[in-house]
Amino acid sequence: MSDAALTYELIKEIFLLLDDGDRRLLSRFNLTVSRFYALFHLGNEPGMSPNQLSELMFCDKSNITRLIKSMEAEDLVRRRRHESDGRSVRLFLTPLGQETRTQALEAHQTYNGQRFSGGVLDETAKLYESLCRLRVNLAAELAELEADPSGKGT
């Protein structure tokens, strides 16, 4: 197996382990990973549109609509008509949503501190640099594919 394939498999396996740990932790707050990140983003930027949220969460608007409807039913999120454009909607956390976000975020940060302890962080700066370069490269590749979906170039 090539170095690229081994690296891909390792990163994928690490993602799955992190995701499983997140799911287990967040279930204590009656949250899925998607709900947690919706609360996270809406807490960081109150009043964003569903389109903005879907871009931040890398999913389509119909998934966000379903997610927000269910979170609204549980009094975590409120939709409000935009003040100047009645056709668009803005999203806000309710007091319960803010409280849930605060508790889950604190637990998540503590959990990440535990997960990345034990010598793992000794080489963090180097690892972080490498992962940042990888992210930039992957984002550039996706931007190229978006500009030229055929992948043939011009």
Q: Look at residue 124 in the predicted model and tell me its pLDDT.
A: 72
Q: Look at residue 153 in the predicted model and tell me its pLDDT.
A: 62
Among candidates 81, 115, 79, which has minimal Cα distance to 97?
A: 79
Question: Mean pLDDT in the chain?
Answer: 90
Q: Look at residue 125 in the predicted model and tell me its pLDDT.
A: 75
- Give the HSE-up count for residue 127: Cα atoms under 13 Å, Cβ half-sphere: 9
The answer on pLDDT for 121 being more than 70 is: no
| Maximum CA extent, the chain | 57
What's 3-115's CATH class? Answer: mainly alpha
| pLDDT band, very low/low/confident/very high, at 122 (cuts 50, 70, 90) | low
Residue type at 53 in one-letter notation: L
The answer on pLDDT for 129 being more than 80 is: yes
The domain spans of the chain are 3-115, 119-154
Over range 112-135, report the average pLDDT: 81
| pLDDT band, very low/low/confident/very high, at 91 (cuts 50, 70, 90) | very high
Lowest mean pLDDT among 21-35, 39-53, 114-128, 133-147: 114-128
